Structure formats: C-alpha cells, structure tokens
Amino acid sequence: MKRSVWPLAAALGLLLAGCGADNSAPVSAKPTKDAMPSHGTVEFKGKIAREYENSEEWWPDAYKSAPEGAPNVVLILLDDTGFAQLGSFGGLTETPNLDALAENGLRYNNFHTTALCSPSRASIMAGRNPHSIGLGSHSLTAMGFPGYNAIIPENAKSVAKILQQNGFVNYALGKWDHTPLNEVSQTGPFTRWPSGEGFDHFYGFMAADADQYRTVMFEDHAPIEPWKHAGDDYHNSEDLADKAIKYITGHVSTAPKRPFMVFLAPGGMHSPHQAPEAYLKKYRGKFDMGWDKAREMILQKQKALGIVPANTQMTERPADIPAWDTLNADEKKLYARQMEVFAAMLDHLDEQIGRVVATLKRVGKYDNTVIMVTSDNGASGEGGLAGTFNETYVLNGLQTAFDANMRKYDKWGDRDTYPHYHAGWAMAGNTPHRYFKQSVHRGGIADPLIIQWPAGIKAKGEIRSQYHHIADIAPTILELTGLTLPDEIDGVPQIPMDGQSMQYSFNNASAPTVKKVQYYEMFGNRAIWAGGWKAVTLHGKRMPWITNSVTPFEDDVWELYNLNEDFSGAVDLADKFPEKLEEMKALFDQEAWKYNVYPLYDDMIMRLSRQQDRQFGDQTEFVFYYPGAVRIAEKASPPIKGRSHIISTQLNYTGVEEGVIVACGGFTGGYATFIKDGKFYYDYNFLDGVHYILESPALAAGEYNFEVKFTHTGQFAGYAELFVNGKMVDKVDMPQTHISTFSLSEPFDVGVDNGTPVSTLYSDAFEYTGELDKVVFRLLDK
C-alpha cells in the first residue's frame, strides 16, 4: 500500500516555521529584550552569545550553603529518663558511652523539661514554650484552645526547618509523637510530620511508645515493619542505631562538606521496658537493696561527683510509696525484677548510642559535631503501685493487680510483656527530687543534660548550674551554627523563640543565668520559677498513675522553695514567706495568660477519649476498603468505645480462605474479626488474658454477610452478638471494655493485623488469603 508523504512534509514545514525559518525576518536579526528566554527568578550571571566559544557558563547554587565551619548536630532525646539514672548523674546503671560524653564535655544539673513527652518534643524543635505552640499537654489529650490543640502554628517553625533552608541535611530517627494521631495515615496531612518540620529523612514511629521487638515503623511516609525480616534478634534500639550509622556514613560519602543534624529519639526508656536476654541476666540481683537504699546510694554518688551541692537534702518519700522494708518477700522479688529490666534496657541503649558516636569518629566528624543528650521528662511513675506487665491498664484508668503481674515474673521484659516498673523506682530515678513525670516538682521536670563539642567547648568534664529549659535547645543550636531565626519561613512571619541560647555558659562556669522566668503546667499541676525561687502545686495531690481524678483548682495548696539554697526543693517555705508566695502565684498567672495556659482542665481520661469524637463529629458510618486501609492510627479508626455499634463484611467464601478481616490494637488490647479453620471469629482482647470471643458454626462454601453487633449497657460494659446472613449464631457478655485506648502504637488494619496480634488464636500478621472488598462500621448511638 502506498502511503502519502504529506503528513511528514507538513510536519517538517511546521517545525521549520517554528524554528524561525521565515523569509520575512532575516536570520541575523537580533532578538529584542522582551524575547530573551526566561530563567525563572534566578538572575543569570554568565554570558550567552550565538556560539559557545563566545559564551560563559554560570551555575546557580543548588542549595544555600551553611555558614563556614558550622558544626554538625547530634541531638539525642531519651524518653522517661530521670535526673539520676545515667551513671554520670549518680545512676546505678552502667552507661559508659553517655558517661564518656559527659567526661569530654559538660553536664548541666539545672536543666528542665515540660514533664511530658509531646510538649517537650515540640518545644525542643520549636524553641518555644509548649503552650505557645498548642502542645500544653500530650497530643492525645488535645483540646480546642490555642494552648492545647496540638497543631503547631506555621509561624513557629522548627530549628530543623531553619537548618534545612541553610544548607543542612536533617535526619530524624525514633519517636515522633506530637503529631495528632488522626493525621497518622497515608493521607496525612504531613505538615506536622518530621518532613513538614524540616527533616529530609525520617525513620521511626509516630506514637508515644513502641514494642521494641515488633515496632510499627515509618520510613519517611511509608509504613514498614523491619522486624519481620530480622527475626527474634530484632530490637528497635539497635535498628535505630543501624539506620543512624547508615545516614551518617551515606551523608559523609556523598556530601562531606555539607553539615547535618541527626535527631535520635529512641523509645527507651519509656514503657515497654524490653531488653535482650544477655542484658537482663547482667542485672539479676543488682537491685535487691530496694528503692530506699538505692536513693541513699545515688545521692552519695551525686555528691561525690559534684552533680548536686554537698548540702543537698533528700526529699521525703511520697506517702503513697511504701518503704521497701515493709514489703513482703514476693513484692521485693517482683519489684527488684522490674528495675533489673529497666536497667538492662538503658545499658543496651547506651551501647547503641556508643556505636553512633564511634561512627562520627570513624568518618572524621566527631570533633566538629555538637552532641546534646537529654530526656523529655523525669522518670515515670505511671507504672503505679505494683508496676504493670501491660501499660494499657493505666491508659484506661486502671491499676494492675499484683497477682497478675507476678504471673509474668519469669517473662518480665521479653516479647510477651509490655511492662512498666513500680513508681518507687521512678522516685529513685529522680533522686534527690520529689515526685515523677507529669508533676512540675523537680522530679517531673529536672533532667540530665550533656553537651559535648570538642572543637568548640574548652572545658572537659565540668558541671554547669545555670537554670535552663528545653525550649533553650533550639536557639542554642542556631547560635552554634551561626544562624538566626528568619523573619519569615515559606512566606509566613515567625514569632520569636521563647528560649535563650546556652552558649554563654559553655566556657564560663560562673556566668549568671540569663533566664529570668519560666512557667510550668501539666494537667493542672502548676509552677513558676524566677530568680531561684519556685512556687509549685500538685493539683489535687494526684499521682501520675491516677488518670481519672477531677478536683477543684481553688483547693490546690501551693508550696514555695528557694532553690538557690535548697537544690532539691526539700524545705517548703510557704508559711515562712507568704508574701513571696503570693507574688510568685501572681507571676504565674501573668505568664499563664501570656503563653496560652488557660483554661485548665484536669480530666485526662475524658480528654483522651474525646479525640475520636472531635475528629468524626456526627459521622455514624465508616467504610474501609481492602487493600489500602492499613496502618491507620487507632485514633483515626471508628470511635466504637462505649458505644453500640455493628461491624459488617460480605465475603464470597470458597472454603479455603483464612486470615484477618479487620483488626485494631495488639496483644495489649483490641479487637479483631477473622476466619480460621472454616469459622468466623470475633475476638475482643481486654486485659490480663481476658478475651471475649464470638465463634460461628463451620462455614460451607457460599456468600456470607457477617455482622458483629455490640450493645452498650453502660459504664463501658455490654454484650456482643454474631450474625451470619441475618441469623444470630453466638453471643458473649462483655462486663468490662476499654475506656480510652487499646494501645499507644498498634494500628487499625483491614485484611491484616500489623504489629502484634490482637488474638491468641492466630500468630503474626495473619493476612487474609481470599477476596475482600470492604469492612463497614455503623454507630448505633452517639
């Protein structure tokens, strides 16, 4: 067949016409200025002629260069590690790698945090007080007020964002838990993820804690489960160190002249306390002396180290904590084991940090890297007065029975427990201070701080006593790197940082404190520091293991301490100096209005349980499609707790399929529907091995509509029924169900159970092997 050449000829003619082959204009015509090619917003500084030989190349900068000689930054944020738990601060656990940093740098003994993880983690990045940026409490207890909405405003961007825009490459690893959990899914938004705050790479978990053996992780925005490929040897502390080493060595290999910031925030020492067997064995019998004797030993060591003044007094043991000598033999046995596991985890974590530091030395970046190590709050007493093998108890306002804990004695710290120690050990971990995490007495807010920078800090092994706060970290990093807070970031004017740089104290131990005032508030606990004086109140005398206490704020009793003379806050001067106390209380009120502290609201359980209500409003039907509905945060899943509801799915069952249909939570608590051995199951995992189970008769091949109906009868109790093609086939009473949460980290999944398994009737992820369309939830009451 003969083809026409017209289309080709026509196209060629149009092409030549487009290239300027037009007899109406001479080839040598010089283009006008308006006809010059556009180079965007970058002014071309070379020369362009017709011929290359007469032109000059010029390249725009690919990125803005960091200030000459700017140091790298490695910021290590431990979790729930008290003032007295590192060896260099008097602790009884071996932490040689962290101690080596202290010996080669500075230890700050007057450094403070916010008393809780989310606000501290927001403040350390933003350089602002927590209520200034919506993180007055945990993101899980957010309220619709400026100080508590958990939405960091765009006018308070992080230090990482500033570094990123000035030539740094930033890497975040580990815990990132101040993002509202309803935003932890593939749809984000990602503004409050590490990527939105200036980190080029993220490898960690978006939750308040993590199972160290089966960690639900993200790499950048993608969900991953690295432990599935690593086997029983996996531990998240090791994994994070491995990744940090890869980031550092990769960075130095490809961009050795560009500085970097590594934010390493491991899950240790937050519950669950879990450590490899070799470390568990190392500490057997090391804490049989009990917490009272441990406190004495720690204070003696602290005085010898000079980390506390020689006249420091031990604060009295809180009335709720029993004296060690009053415990029976079984109690001593269990509680000593709980501290052994904590110590094992800390020792193991210290080794991983040592590996990262060794890598800095290996690649020649050690001397010009600023390494900062601190914690997000004091040691945690949330384990309560018996400790717990399952942290979920306290999240639902419950305490764990001693007998239930004792049954887990031999497995404490392994993959079958999710443990937390007795509050008595948190008391010892905060020696010589009073109380624990959540309180704004020094036990909750005084934390160790180590700063090392061989190229920039002359002093080695010295102690600094200037009063500082976690919001001071970001402005310190800016000053050390030669940067300042810009007027605008991404076109948004920025509010000033509340924090103040600590660099003035690096090479001047006697420099006076630059900070004048610092307020504190956490769940109604309040304090104000000014010029060495501190006024403080423990709201309602509530201990951190009590989450459902509501008391009038006007009944609170304020205390007064002169910390210039009384380092630990052991002597209450409220009665001696009533006018000073009133002056301090008035100052707190002034700062509280300034920084969005009001309104005060102390009902933690209600604040926790309302998060899903806030997200979903009047929505009563929820549809989740397979295979994409996975790794959704529990708080972004249907709000079924304490409500009548129906979970339904339709399946074309051929007789061979099995696996999870829907699951929420993990082995600490949750629910799942699944098919196994030719039957449909519903398993609601409560606490201490209590499982409410519905089971269908054997299923023949065919089309099925499965419905699980829960009828709420009051006080988070009710009963559940299983319907198969409209016929009720099983029923179970459920006298107790969860009030607020199944887990802090386990997700909601359709077609698979990521993380740990909800049910003991299956293992691993138990992914569904057949065709699955969707799962539908309907709320029957609001």
Residue 208 lies in a domain: yes
549: Cβ contacts below 8 Å, ≥ 6 apart? 540, 542, 602
Residue 67 lies in a domain: no
Residue 11 lies in a domain: no
Strand bridging mode 558-562 / 533-537? antiparallel
pLDDT tens digits, one per residue of 269-313: 999 999 999 999 999 999 999 999 999 999 999 999 999 999 999
Residue 211 lies in a domain: yes
DSSP single-letter state for residue 20: T
Q: Tell whether 498 and 617 lie within a shared domain.
A: no
Tally the domains of the chain: 2
Confidence of residue 25 (pLDDT cuts 50, 70, 90): very low
Q: Average of pLDDT values for 17-29?
A: 42
Which of 475, 509, 543 is the C-terminal boundary of a domain?
A: 509
Q: Assign residue 40 a region (left: φ > 0; alpha: ψ between -120 and 50; beta: otherwise).
A: left
- The one-letter amino acid code at 46 reads G
Q: Return the pLDDT at 1.
A: 41
Residue 603 lies in a domain: no
Using CA atoms, how far residue 104 sits from 77, 259, 505, in Å, is 19, 22, 16
Residue 402 lies in a domain: yes
pLDDT tens digits, one per residue of 638-670: 999 999 999 999 999 999 999 999 999 999 999
Q: Which tokens is 592 given? A: 């509280």
Residue (of 88, 87, 91, 77) closest to 123 by Cα position: 77
What does 54-108 look like in DSSP terms, one character per residue? G-B-----SSPPPPTTPPEEEEEEESS--TT-SGGGT-SS--HHHHHHHHTSEEE
CATH number at residue 697: 2.60.120.200
Higher pLDDT, 32 or 749: 749
Residue 757 lies in a domain: yes
CATH number at residue 299: 3.40.720.10
pLDDT tens digits, one per residue of 666-686: 999 999 999 999 999 999 999
Specify which residues 663 forms β-bridges with. Answer: 672, 749
Domain encompassing residue 434: 72-509
Residue 562 lies in a domain: no
User: Considering only 5-9, 63-67, 107-111, which range has the smallest mean pLDDT?
Assistant: 5-9
Whether the per-residue pLDDT at 12 is higher than 70: the answer is no
Which of 465, 491, 509 is the C-terminal boundary of a domain?
A: 509
Q: Tell whether 499 and 633 lie within a shared domain.
A: no
Q: Tell whether 125 and 240 lie within a shared domain.
A: yes
Strand bridging mode 169-175 / 260-265? parallel
Specify which residues 469 forms β-bridges with. Answer: 112
Q: Tell whether 222 and 366 lie within a shared domain.
A: yes
Which of 462, 480, 509 is the C-terminal boundary of a domain?
A: 509
Confidence of residue 40 (pLDDT cuts 50, 70, 90): low
Q: Tell whether 616 and 730 lie within a shared domain.
A: yes
**What is the layout of strands, in order, in the sheet containing 679-685?**
632-633, 747-750, 659-666, 669-676, 679-685, 691-695
- The one-letter amino acid code at 150 reads A
pTM of the complete model: 0.93
